[in-house]
Structure 1
């Protein structure tokens, strides 16, 4: 099958979970014999694909969804979206938009773009059941239009990693680790730094290592210089061997995001023998169950308590066993089955009529 992967140009700039999901899904499907092309615009494509898979319901891709449908190509969207607001609150926001659009005032434009993308697409592939329920309830999408495709983890890579490169780079191990976008407000890095600076001396916490993209003029740069216990490593390419080594040398991994769906970095950390403190918001509990320490991302005391408990706890052996079956190869098999279902049992026009 010829498949086109489409995503926002921003995906490749961040090197975050979405780029990892796209890359690993591509590899898994190619191993199953499919041909994959990756682009950031339908204008650069000759429309020879049998199916188009969009990664991220990004507003800047809305026109590309329309272009794909105009050429009668089935469009799947891995939505990768969540909100701490209830479905009813999101519905009210959409209703306000309908009332205000006539006076030229755009209310929640990104939310409305995501709404339109989800309705236009042939099929949706959220990462978790929680994400799927929110989309159905907030946007009025039929559950039949949704197939949950979980995130995966490269089992061989992270299960057998070594700490050597990380120790050579940092000069120490057994640290508290965060891996992800440092600039995105949703990731809550500012709050993490405030909690760490306030608590690490009193509670005798190990050094904090932050790994991720951060512009030279970003306000966080100054804060990173204020405490010698805080160390920053710039973001690396997804296949850089330093990444798995950084996980392996850590004692505890923390992900204090406002929400996650469900957090590929935390899955990689769990396979790398880290104890984990992670946000309770989003789809995290579907993957991590009772094997991690959950935190309220809007409560500094909760963040501090979860980190301290994780630092005081051994890695979860049962979580390790659970993550071992979530290899990207299995994600590829599930994605392939979804494609066949869409191509054989559904038509674009049938979906458009069912959403009308």
Structure 2
């Protein structure tokens, strides 16, 4: 079986959670005997070499439609269905705040696709996207997929409700690399009992409110990540407001990253939206207590094993960190992650979906 993974053009120039999902899923599919090649959506593909196409990020149908038309191949979609609604309405500033008062979310995504074409040269693969618009394009991609592969039941239900459709799906959980999780990392005094936030630095991840909540507290806070290209100003604002107990890093060796997780006390993602929060899973399995928000699908993964905060309430963020810091670590949570949320399991579920589609 030979599969083509097709993902956004900026998959490696601006890496995110989808980059890790794609790379690890491909790796573990290969261990199952599946041949996998990864293509940015703007690169030519010899479709005849593949049994099936696997797309990622259904919120970017402009990337997908052209490949569907040209290939004539069966396909599946890892939906990775992000919803920027609350962030756009509550925390966005400038032009985007104004646009959100006038246009629907789908209309804004359509405008963004056009803007990426004009500003960054990102291709729109099919003229149908320009004619149909964003919403109808997503509905078309979903309805004609062999199967949808959301990362949780919650994600599928959100998607089905918003786009008024029901379709065959199989939950493929996000995960951690079990081999890495089971390696023993030494403790690093620099991060001992610290508060961590490991994520791309951008408004949706909400590092600025985290800084405002924990400035000049007893906590040593380590924010690790790079700003996305459109959030350089946000990053500068974060650095400007950060007190002396807030520290930034944008590059660590793999060994240092695991030392940081292993040494810290709490990991927090106070995001306005997460389908999972991969760094939360990684930190949890390495011994951190977890603070997240319930915006998105995090409850499906973390349940009662995390502390929850409101992203736009700095007192809520501080209270959740306080509670998580004072609580003992629960080893049963680690065992649950190792059982339910690994990339090996994600690959197995994906492989089962492929066989179902190709059999049908």
Taking a change above 3 Å as real, the CA distance of residues 230 and 24 of structure 1, as seen in their structure-2 partners, is: same
- 2:278 corresponds in structure 1 to 264
Q: 1:136 aligns with which of 160, 172, 176?
A: 160
Q: Distance in 2 between matches of 1:282 and 1:179?
A: 18
In 2, are the aligned partners of 1:180 and 1:265 still within 8 Å (CA)? yes
Match of 2:355 among 318, 330, 340: 340
Q: Tell me, yes or no, if the aligned pair for 1:255 and 1:277 is still in contact at 8 Å.
A: yes
Query: What's the offset of the Cα at 1:322?
Result: 0.4
Q: Which residue of 1 aligns with 2:83?
A: 83
Partner of 1:12: 12
Find out whether 1:229 has 2:245 as its counterpart: yes
How much has 1:271 moved relative to structure 2?
A: 0.4
Q: Does 1:192 align with 2:210?
A: yes
For normalisation by structure 1, the TM-score amounts to: 0.81
Aligned residues: CA RMSD? 2.8
- Say if 2:289 is the partner of 1:275: yes
Instruction: Write the mapping of 1:50-129 to structure 2, written as runs, cut at 5 A.
Output: 50-59=51-60, 62-83=62-83, 93=104, 113-129=137-153
Q: Residue 38 of structure 1 aligns with which residue?
A: 38
Q: CA deviation at 1:178?
A: 0.4
* Unaligned runs of at least 5 residues, structure 2: 87-102, 109-129
Q: Unaligned regions of 5+ residues in structure 1, if any?
A: 87-91, 98-105, 346-356
Are 2:182 and 1:159 aligned? yes
TM-score (norm 2): 0.80
Aligned to 1:312: 326
Q: Does 1:208 align with 2:221?
A: yes
Over 3 Å counting, the alpha-carbon distance change for 1:248 and 1:110 in structure 2 is farther
Q: Distance in 2 between matches of 1:54 and 1:66?
A: 12
Greater mean deviation of Cα atoms: 3-12 or 126-135: 3-12
Residue 322 of structure 1 is matched in structure 2 by 336
More displaced 10-residue stretch of structure 1: 271-280 or 289-298: 289-298
Please give the per-residue CA displacement for 1:251-309, whole angstroms capped at 9, x wherever unaligned: 10001111211111111111010011111121111111111111122322221211111
Aligned equivalents of 2:105 and 2:289: distance in 1?
40
Q: Deviations over 1:309-341 (max 9, x none)?
A: 111112222211100112211111111000001
